[in-house]
Structure 1
C-alpha cells in the first residue's frame, strides 16, 4: 500500500505462498540486488555454463534468512529436486542446491527467479498489518502470476500487479479508515 514505510517492503510485490494460523511466508519478486547469477554461482563454487544467465539478477526475497537461497520456478514434476514445495498458484519453490546445479548446466527450470531471504510474519501479524492498511491482496491466476514474475521486467511488476485490481491504484490512500 502507498503508506508502507518499512524500507524492506515499500513498493514491493510479494508472492505469498503460505498463510496459515501459524503465520505467513512469501518472496519479494520485484527487488533485484547488486548480485547476479554469475557472482552467486562463483561464490557457491558452481560453474555456470549458460552464458545467457550470467547477468540475471538475484532478488531480495525478504529480510529473513538472507543468506539462504530460494528458487521460485515453474513445476518440473514430482521428486526432481530434493527440497521442493508446490506452492499455491501452481508454482514451485525449491531451496536445495540441486536446482542450481541443474540450472548451471542448462537442465533446470526454463523460467525461475532466484532470491536470497524471504518475507515472514508470525501468527496474526500479517492480518494486523492488513487491517492497518499496510498491504493489499491482489488475487491472480497462475498465468497472470507467471507472466508478472517471469516475463515482466522487475521495474514494472508493481504497476502490473496493481493493474489487476480493477480500479486506479493512484486513488489508494496511505491512511486506514475504520467505521
Structure 2
C-alpha cells in the first residue's frame, strides 16, 4: 500500500446508517493502516472511568498533582482491558508507535506513571481498547457507504468537546451528517 493511499493519521467517521453498536456515530483516529490491517482509537466515546480508577487498578499511587478529572475513553472493542494513550508531542515512551512528527500512541506503564505525577504530554487521550480491521476489511466497509474518512485534526482530537467531535470531524471531511438519513430506503 502506498503512503498516498494510507488512511494513517485520518479520521474514520461512522455515517448515521452504520448500525453496529460498537461504532454508531463514532470518530476513530487511524493510528496505522497497512496491508496487514488497520488500527484506530475511537475518540468520542467516554467511559464512566477516570484516570484515578485506572491508577487504583494498576496499583500506581496518586500524587497531589494527579489530574483526577481525566476521562478514560472506550477506544474500541479489541483488547478492552488494555490502555492506549494517544498523545502529542510524540515523545518516545517504553512502547510507543510514532504516527506523525507530533502524534504517537503509547501502551506502556511508564506513561501512566508520568500521568499520575501530571508529567505526561501536553495533549493526551487515554482509551481502553482499540478498533481493528483485518487486511482489506476497512476498504470493503468503505465501499459499503458505512464510513467516510477525512483529515485528522489535533483540535478535534484534544480540544473539541466530546459530544461535538462526530459532527466536527464530518464537517472537516466536507459532510454534514445531519443531512444524511439513518433510515434506508429504496427508490
Smaller-chain TM-score bracket: 0.7 to 0.9
Flag the structure with higher strand content: 2
Q: 2:160: which partner in 1?
A: 152
User: How far apart in 1 are the matches of 2:185 and 2:82?
Assistant: 35
Unaligned runs of 5+ in 2: 1-14
- Aligned: 1:19 with 2:27: no
User: How far apart in 2 are the matches of 1:61 and 1:170?
Assistant: 24
Q: CA deviation at 1:63?
A: 0.2
Cα 1:176–1:151 shift into 2, 3 Å: farther
Runs (4 or more) in structure 1 with deviation over 2 Å come to: 165-177
Q: TM-score, normalised by structure 1?
A: 0.88
SS of alignment partner, residue 80 of structure 2: strand
- Aligned: 1:73 with 2:87: yes
Unaligned runs of 5+ in 1: none
SS of alignment partner, residue 33 of structure 1: strand
Q: 1:137: which partner in 2?
A: 149
SS of alignment partner, residue 62 of structure 1: coil
Q: TM-score, normalised by structure 2?
A: 0.84
What is the total number of aligned residue pairs between the two structures?
Answer: 171
RMSD, aligned α-carbons: 2.0
SS of alignment partner, residue 118 of structure 1: strand
Q: CA deviation at 1:51?
A: 5.2
Q: 2:106: which partner in 1?
A: 94
